[in-house]
Chain A
């Protein structure tokens, strides 16, 4: 009896000592802050700076002064963020951007050699259903065409110095770049109109649901022979749509900031806009490679839908079975 109670007491003692020791380990080093806390309070009282260094601090911090020469930020002396912009653009963005695009192309090429074109699993029925209306196809192709032109001209401005100047020479590249700049600046806002009307037209079709989860789990039937069910748009198409919504709108908005410098927007605004513009652009171009691959050489019968508007029911059954079912239901209910 007494043995167990003394054992209990010893256990209690041990736990308490342990807790106290742990507390001491954590708290004792903190006591240093008590003295430094007092010290900084004392320092603040005697803080008085050299007026001359204050002046140079102002210069460094880009404090706006007065200048008789009027114009955008002419009253500022040193604007440091341009150096950051330069480092980011010339460094990681150009480097990782080229990697992303290159790796994307390599992966698609490897996939094509491994898997080849995904053929129709059943022979064509000869019967077709309308997948995209003329209006939808027009919007798609106008936007897509502009996307390609803007992508090529934009990438020329980022990588042309490295890739095209050795090929075309300084003057040769400059005359192309001049045209590229104008093309990019003029077509950009038109692309924006195309993109926005695309978003409005296909907004309703693009909400995610449980079917999409299964589709993603089965890799959309790209790997293996499974054909996961899909509605009119599968999860991959929806992801592409929402990337276009988010990154595309950011791309367009920042593009406008850069395209119309007549509102005296500050350099910093343009630097940040440029960074967002180039990052979203490279992201979308990389995604577009996947989109173009799947819709052309990747899948038999996919391109027909966007070219003629009609797809074979065999194709629809294989890739968008739920959509076809719904269409059939509509037809029978209309009768």
Chain B
């Protein structure tokens, strides 16, 4: 079975934020929530590098482990999804996630949290594929259409890769060999190495 992974090639990311915009548009994400973001380190300095980050769909997902209502599940493709009907907006997944993926639309005063929203790897949610409910709650289900996440599909420099981990790492390895450098698959140690 495939194990879906994201990989952002920091040598290629040009911080255009198109992945962020595409994701927001594709899924009609609530106001104030961005499922993906680009982070630039050493901004404006020599050695500046950018990385696009969203939910990494971890193998042993911390969010899943701490959820008090057990709303997370991992699909056969290794995508970590959650059920918004069960989510109570407690914020625990946000405390636990190393990548800062879970976010909450504000519901009421004092920053009280609504149902958590995060990247679905364009795989929707527990509702029936392509149903109206799924679209409303989780956005488009591109995986069910046989497509990969939009952020990676439309990345102009092909910095952001998404798909089966083996295929993605093979692509990346070839690049690195051509560049004659060491392989640095960003965040993979945190997301996919089960300690």
> Which A residues are within 8 Å of any B CB, using their own CB?
51-52, 54-56, 58-59, 63, 65-69, 71, 73-80, 82-83, 85-86, 89-90, 156-158, 160-161, 165, 170-171, 173-174, 177-178, 181, 185, 258-263, 267, 270-271, 274
Q: Which of B38, B95, B100, B186 lies in contact with A59, CB distance below 8 A? A: B186
By secondary structure, the B interface counts as loop
Give the shortest distance, in Å, between B139 (CB) and chain A (any CB): 17
User: CB of B98 within 8 A of chain A?
Assistant: yes
A-B contact count (CB 8 A): 138
Complex contacts, B37 vs chain A, CB 8 Å: 67-69, 74
User: CB of B170 within 8 A of chain A?
Assistant: no
> Which B residues are within 8 Å of any A CB, using their own CB?
10, 15, 17, 20, 32, 34, 37-43, 47, 49, 51, 53, 62, 65-71, 83, 85-91, 94-100, 103, 106, 110-113, 181-182, 184, 186-187, 190
Q: Which of B38, B95, B98, B186 lies in contact with A274, CB distance below 8 A? A: B95
Complex contacts, B112 vs chain A, CB 8 Å: 185, 261
**B100–A160 touching, CB < 8 Å:** no
Q: Which of B42, B51, B110 lies in contact with A77, CB distance below 8 A? A: B51
**A83–B98 touching, CB < 8 Å:** yes
**A75–B91 touching, CB < 8 Å:** no
Give the shortest distance, in Å, between A218 (CB) and chain B (any CB): 44
A223 to B15 Cα, complex, angstroms? 73
By secondary structure, the A interface counts as helix
Complex contacts, B62 vs chain A, CB 8 Å: 82-83, 86
11 contacting pairs across A/B (C-beta < 8 A): A56-B184, A71-B103, A74-B37, A77-B39, A80-B190, A86-B62, A170-B71, A174-B86, A181-B89, A260-B111, A261-B111
Task: Give 10 A-B pairs besides A71-B34, A171-B85 with Cβ atoms closer than 8 angstroms.
Answer: A69-B37, A69-B38, A74-B39, A80-B98, A86-B65, A174-B87, A177-B69, A181-B90, A263-B111, A274-B95
